[in-house]
Structure 1
Amino acid sequence: MADWYPWLIAAHLAATLYMAGVIWFVQLDHYPLLACVGRQDFVRYETSHRLRVTCVVAPAMLVEAFSAAALCHWPPRGVPGWLVWLGMGLVFVNWIATAALSVPAHDALSRGYCERTIGRLVRTNWVRTVAWTARAIVALALVWPSIALATPSEW
């Protein structure tokens, strides 16, 4: 095993679990609370949210995507290839859902408060919530054989 490989596995697992936690927070707390912001301050709030959330999620999403791609090229020992590719496919689901569903909703909300758009954002975010939850399960399944098959000198 190459010296960098455990770091790849660790980065992949950390980024994926982090994003799974973030998306559940967003789904159950953050997005539903958009309806409580109030119309007067909504555009300022939404603009601030978009700037801040990018700093929270972009680094982890990039680490997750690049590490998932690397694992497709260098799959962990003892892991079926389909599982690695399932994980990569779920990365695509999350990125496409973000670009096609979440970003347009936030674009609309940056122009003003709209209860229907907030409702649509909460509903369509379930796609990402389910996909990131599945990614977390896949990432754990990818890591387990690496840990179980490693000798103490490889830790």
Structure 2
Amino acid sequence: MMVAIIWIVQILHYPTFLFIDKERYTEFQQFHMNKISYIIVPLMLGELISGLSILFTVENVQFSFYVSLSLLILIWLITGLFFTKFHSKLTKKFSHNTILRLIRLNWIRTVFWTIRLALLL
């Protein structure tokens, strides 16, 4: 599920940030963070909880599962270390450079989630 969402965010949603009226940008960003959290947080938590539960309850998991779980942990770290700061900064003022950094760095999460899907199929 997250792989589809991250591709929509990467190709459509984040680039749209550049076209939001700068006078209302902080209002938009606060709205975005509030509403997207209802979608993203449960899905990311579900991924993490299910991955950890498999790790601790299933014997003889495949190596690809460990790679996938490692990628998920990296996604969480990248999100926590960078994306929360970028979005927080954007709630205070519009920043073309911050949005471009957000888009560029999000390619890492997009690739990681795509690899996870391939590994889990």
Shorter-chain-normalised TM-score: which range?
over 0.9
**Alignment CA distance shift 1:76-1:129 (3 Å):** farther
Match of 2:12 in 1: 29
Partner of 1:132: 113
Greater share of helix? 2
- After TM superposition, the score normalised by the length of structure 1 is 0.74
- For structure 1, the 5+ residue unaligned runs are 1-17, 141-155
Q: Determine which structure has greater relative contact order: mean sequence separation of CA pairs < 8 Å that are 6+ residues apart, divided by chain length.
A: 2
TM-score (norm 2): 0.94
Residues 5-154 of structure 1 aligned to structure 2 (within 5 Å): 18-75=1-58, 80=62, 82-140=63-121
Give a deviation string over 1:66-95, Cα, whole Å, max 9, x none.
111112123477x52x21211110110110
Once the two structures are TM-superposed, the CA of residue 127 in structure 1 deviates from its matched residue by: 1.1
Unaligned runs of 5+ in 2: none
Secondary structure at the aligned position of 1:113 is classed as coil
Tell me the C-alpha RMSD between the 2 structures: 1.3
Poorly superposed stretches of 4+, deviation over 6 Å? none
Are the aligned partners of 1:43 and 1:110 in contact in 2 as well (CA < 8 Å)? yes
Report the count of equivalent residues. 121
Structure having the higher Rg: 1
Taking the aligned partners of 1:65 and 1:46, their CA distance within structure 2 comes to 26
Q: Distance in 1 between matches of 2:43 and 2:24?
A: 29
* Percent identical residues: 28
